[in-house]
Amino acid sequence: MNKPFEMKQASLFQIEKEPAAKPATSSPSLQRERLPRLDKYPEVRERLLPYCRLRPGEVWEDPIRGHRVGVLDATNGEHVNRLVRDTRIALAINDPPYNIKVGNANTPHLSKQNLEAYLDFSRKWVTHVVNVLAEHAHFYVWIGADYRDGFQPFPDFMILMRDWHPILKSRNLITVRNQRGYGTQKNWMWVRQELLHYVKGNPPFQVVYTDIPKILRGYYKVVNGKITENMERSKSDTIRPGNVWVDIQQVFYRMEENVPGCYAQKPLKAIRRILETSSREGDVVLDLFAHSGATLLAGEMLHRRVFTADIDPVFAEITIRRLEHFRQTGKTGWQWRNPFPEMEG
């Protein structure tokens, strides 16, 4: 490897040695991420490949809890069957590419293609997921809307999902309000993400509550001849999340759960909420777009088995490492540190 390339990588990874004693004003939360957004730096991704234990088509099996992680293509039915085998899936969480440029970057990992091609891609992976669902199962999918292009693919994907009716029945449309967003001075700031919820059969659903205190009184109702207000009838001092989630913090480098290098990371709190409401301990959860490994980690924390995969060996490796890192340290991510510390030696 030539010297100019090595120097460029040093600036990208911030791999210079840290001083033994930092100034009093220094704080880890103010450090830059030591691994850049991988879709923007393909040369960095190439350097990571030798550290990946899986090659395309391979599946890693967790010897402790029975999780599985594969380098597999969600649009390939044989690949999906290789991951799932004879298991039936109680809950599928899907976070596919949105067909939207993220951060004004049209990269191979977050590319924008024509709508027909995107819907063909979607039709394939949805078919393979539906084929492995249990008789009674939940199906969630995160999806985006490009306001610069007629809000596609959001409405188009919803119409596509009608092809699986009545096998899959629409249950809810959830909006997650990010605490951080993007926008200009000439438009409303975009702070929302959409989460579609479908069910097959009649799967169980567990009511959960947020940490937000219930403060609004009223909604009077006669119960057993007595006029009561909602605070008296409530089963909790906090509110239910409903289908507009306002208590989810978008992941960024000041948070422990942040995984440097990932560019579409979902918050653990959101994934845990889905698992807590729509699965039980011991259930098998499927996620064919692993990316940062959030679903695997949430499953580990909540005693679910997770079968997950990513088409990119680097993100499959990050997913496995995040599980191992959690078991070793109790930490949910690396914050600003590098998930591949051996590169900094």
Length of the chain measured in residues: 345
What is the H or E stretch that residue 160 is in? helix 154-160
Q: Which CATH architecture has domain 60-182+190-209+245-344?
A: 3-Layer(aba) Sandwich (3.40)
Contact 261, 37 (CB under 8 A): yes
Beta-sheet pairing, 133-143 with 190-200:
antiparallel
Q: How confident is the model at residue 185 (pLDDT cuts 50, 70, 90)?
A: confident
The pLDDT assigned to 108 comes to 55
Read off the pLDDT of residues 216-229 as tens digits, 9 standing for 90 and up. Answer: 666 667 777 887 76
The pLDDT assigned to 230 comes to 66
In whole angstroms, give the CA distance from residue 123 to residue 145.
18
Residue 255 clears pLDDT 90, i.e. is over it: yes
Residue 119 clears pLDDT 60, i.e. is over it: yes
- Among 344, 328, 268, which Cα is nearest to 93's? 268
- Compute the mean pLDDT over every residue in the chain, rounded to the nearest whole number: 87
Read off the pLDDT of residues 73-112 as tens digits, 9 standing for 90 and up. Answer: 999 999 999 999 999 999 999 999 999 875 545 455 556 8
The pLDDT assigned to 295 comes to 98
Percent residues over pLDDT 70 in the chain: 82
The pLDDT assigned to 103 comes to 52
Strand partners, 69: 60, 308
Looking at residues 43-63, what average pLDDT do you find? Answer: 97
Q: How confident is the model at residue 44 (pLDDT cuts 50, 70, 90)?
A: very high
Looking at residues 58-64, what average pLDDT do you find? Answer: 98
The pLDDT assigned to 17 comes to 37
Min mean pLDDT across 118-127, 175-184, 258-267, 295-304 is at: 175-184
Residue 168 clears pLDDT 90, i.e. is over it: yes
The pLDDT assigned to 242 comes to 94
Residue 23 clears pLDDT 80, i.e. is over it: no
The pLDDT assigned to 25 comes to 39
Residue 20 clears pLDDT 50, i.e. is over it: no
Residue 50 clears pLDDT 90, i.e. is over it: yes
The pLDDT assigned to 202 comes to 98
In whole angstroms, give the CA distance from residue 114 to residue 277.
35
